[in-house]
């Protein structure tokens, strides 16, 4: 059982949790995720660690209320307990000095992008960040991102914040303006697919972090299979980050819908 120390609502559907987990706080690296479970009949859900505080012994998670399990988590408040929390899992991001990094975050994907932006900046890179979402209230961590980026461009579908347009338009603006050495993109699978297509045009090595369906998160079940460069990989132990230009995104999108019927039924029931 892990105690929730603080909780903030970042928007109507997005909440930030600071959770007591001293060992994970100490051992986690950017790119790692945890699996948590709420309640004795709860589902195991993976969430990327956004930040940690070794001294306070806490980790930060950000979650969007999209289904039954994330909904249960979002209902918890400071002082409540997470039934089960395990991690850090997955391979850490390969942080190095590459030169100029283009960081693309879509929606709640901005949360897992944050530790990577921070780490690349700390490693001495120039970091250009694009934050994109449907509308203003879904743009999260803008202040923190500005703190760790050399430049931040905000894009919204409806123009309610920053510029009106898609994440790829923002990305191309940077790419056309200056030399970009590497790109990292995190967000909905469809957004990552189009980011990959864009950077491929310019031959920019690109990493994406996948949020696939998982059960155990330790390699045991294989629900998180993804085809990378023609080979089947497990997101939980081989990823969650992969070379974006090698991922079979259409298969990934299909696999993410595997439990759509069951999920819809569950949402309607509760």
Show the binding pattern over residues 24-63: x = contacts another protein (CB under 8 A), - = does not. x--x---------x-x-xxxx-------------------
How far is Cα 232 from Cα 57, in angstroms, rounded to an integer?
36
Q: Distances from the Cα of 140 to the Cαs of 4, 168, 175, 222, 265, in angstroms?
A: 20, 18, 23, 32, 29
Q: Is 232 in the site for another protein (CB under 8 A)?
A: yes
* Coil, helix or strand at residue 234: strand
* Coil, helix or strand at residue 106: strand
Select from 96-104, 156-164, 171-179, 252-260 the region that touches another protein (CB under 8 A).
252-260
Q: Provide the minimum distance between the beta carbon of 252 and another protein in the complex, in angstroms, as a whole number.
A: 9
In degrees, rounded to 5, the angle at the alpha carbon of residue 219 between the alpha carbons of residues 218 and 222 is: 130
Q: Select 34 or 185, whichever has its Cβ closest to another protein.
A: 34
Q: Is 86 in the site for another protein (CB under 8 A)?
A: yes
Select from 134-142, 175-183, 200-208, 219-227 the region that touches another protein (CB under 8 A).
219-227
- Is 140 within 8 Å of 14 (Cβ atoms)? yes
Residues 4-23 that bind another protein (CB under 8 A): 23
Q: What is the DSSP string of 6-57?
A: EEEESSSSEEEEEEE-HHHHHH--TT-EEEEE-STTPPPEEEE--EEETTTT
Select from 52-60, 178-186, 191-199, 217-225 the region that touches another protein (CB under 8 A).
217-225
Q: Provide the minimum distance between the beta carbon of 22 and another protein in the complex, in angstroms, as a whole number.
A: 10
Question: Left (φ > 0), alpha (ψ -120 to 50) or beta: where does 141 sit?
Answer: left
How far is Cα 197 from Cα 36, in angstroms, rounded to an integer?
33
Q: Give the one residue of 219, 229, 243, 267 binding another protein; rule: CB under 8 A.
A: 219
Which residues sit at the interface with another protein, rule CB under 8 A?
Answer: 23-24, 27, 37, 39, 41-44, 68-69, 72, 83-89, 215-216, 218-223, 225-227, 232, 234, 237, 251, 254-255, 257-259, 262-263, 266
């Amino acid at each position: 059982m892990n105690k929730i120390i603080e909780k903030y609502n970042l928007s109507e559907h997005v909440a930030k949790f600071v959770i007591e987990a001293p060992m994970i706080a100490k051992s986690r690296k950017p790119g790692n995720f945890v699996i948590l479970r709420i309640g004795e009949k709860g589902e195991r859900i993976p969430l990327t660690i956004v930040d940690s505080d070794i001294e306070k012994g806490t980790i930060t998670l950000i979650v969007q209320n999209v289904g039954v399990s994330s909904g249960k988590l979002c209902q918890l408040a400071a002082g409540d307990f997470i039934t089960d929390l395990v991690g850090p899992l997955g391979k850490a991001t390969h942080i190095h000095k590459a030169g100029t990094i283009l960081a693309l975050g879509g929606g709640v994907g901005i949360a897992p992008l944050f530790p990577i932006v921070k780490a690349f900046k700390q490693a001495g890179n120039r970091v250009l960040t694009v934050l994109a979402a449907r509308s203003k209230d879904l743009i999260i961590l803008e202040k923190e991102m500005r703190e760790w980026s050399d430049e931040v461009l905000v894009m919204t579908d409806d123009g309610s914040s920053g510029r009106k347009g898609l994440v790829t338009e923002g990305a191309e603006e940077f790419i056309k303006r200056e030399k970009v050495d590497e790109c990292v993109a995190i967000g909905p699978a469809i957004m990552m697919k189009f980011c990959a297509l864009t950077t491929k045009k310019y031959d920019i090595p690109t990493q994406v972090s996948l949020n696939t369906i998982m059960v155990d998160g330790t390699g045991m079940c294989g629900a998180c299979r993804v085809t990378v460069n023609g080979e089947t990989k497990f997101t939980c132990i081989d990823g969650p980050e992969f070379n974006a230009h090698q991922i079979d995104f259409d298969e990934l999108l299909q696999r993410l819908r595997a439990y759509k019927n069951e999920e819809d039924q569950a949402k309607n029931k509760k």
